[in-house]
Amino acid sequence: MRILRVSNKNSLIEFAATRLAKIIIATLEHNDTFSLVLSGGSTPKPIYERLAQPDLAEHINWSKVYIFFGDERTVPPDHADSNYRMANEALFQHVPLPAANIYRMHGEDEPHQAASDYEAAIRDYMGETQPGFDMVLLGMGDDGHTASLFPGTAALHEHDKWVMANEVPQHHTWRLTMTVPLLNISENIMFLVAGSSKTDTLKAVLEGPKQPDVYPSQLIHPENEMVTWLVDAEAGAILTHVDKDI
């Protein structure tokens, strides 16, 4: 695990977008495809918008990029809360990404069926090749959740399914989410965390005792060195250890 702390949120956006573009381009020099799992939330949106800008986007062969979602709200794709809608407006509408390359979670469908259908689509995409996505983007909520793996919810203890409908009582809703087993088979994970509202939780997640039911972000790749935490100075203000200040 590597912790990179950047001076402010704008630097985080620039660093994340340019790093992601470089990884996509470098991977496609040797591979035929690049599978990218997008996070929802407010932190990644400007990163997607930056990635869509010509100086980065024009160097990416979007026909070889395949998009997945780490989670989705149980709403239609045109709903204000839809992670798909956010990514579509920030990125998909601005780059030549084939619609067939976008694997949308169907938040408008019955959640358990939608989860099952999405898992089948992922398994079909991965086929017999080495399972795992080329890059997974994750955020972290103020409560330590990631994707829609919220504290105290059933999805935290799922060891077999790759995608679940997860009841989230604290938000009086259901969510669709990738599970820990699926997220943890990917080699490259980048957490994107910014803002002073995350400071105490980030310290607890990264440096506190392991209590994943309270801080589900601790479930993601505890042993894998390929997890990068990209945090701004506010979120990372009280961390004892960072690998690099940028």
User: For residue 232, what are the CA distances in angstroms to 6, 40, 134, 201, 238?
Assistant: 5, 18, 24, 14, 11
Nearer to ligand 6PG, 146 or 166 (CB): 146
Q: How far is the CB of 23 from ligand 6PG (least distance, A)?
A: 20
**Residue 117 contacts residue 109 (beta carbons within 8 Å):** yes
Amino acid occupying residue 68: F
Provide the residue count of the chain: 246
Of 60 and 180, the one with the shorter C-beta distance to ligand 6PG is 180
Quote the radius of gyration of the chain (alpha carbons, Å): 17
> Which residues bind to ligand 6PG, rule: CB under 6 A?
39-43, 70-71, 83, 139-141, 145-147
Class of residue 203 by CB neighbours under 10 A (exposed 0-12, middle 13-18, buried 19+): middle
Under the phi-then-psi rule, with left for phi > 0, alpha for psi from -120 to 50, and beta for the rest, what region is 157?
alpha
User: Minimum Å distance from CB 40 to ligand 6PG?
Assistant: 3
Least separation, in Å, of the C-beta of 35 and ligand 6PG? 17
The first and second tokens of residue 213, run together, are 């039911």
Minimum distance between the CB of residue 204 and ligand 6PG, rounded to whole angstroms? 15
Instruction: Choose between 111 and 139: whose C-beta lies nearer to ligand 6PG.
Output: 139
CB-nearest residue to ligand 6PG: 139
Closer CB to ligand 6PG, 60 or 138, in the complex: 138
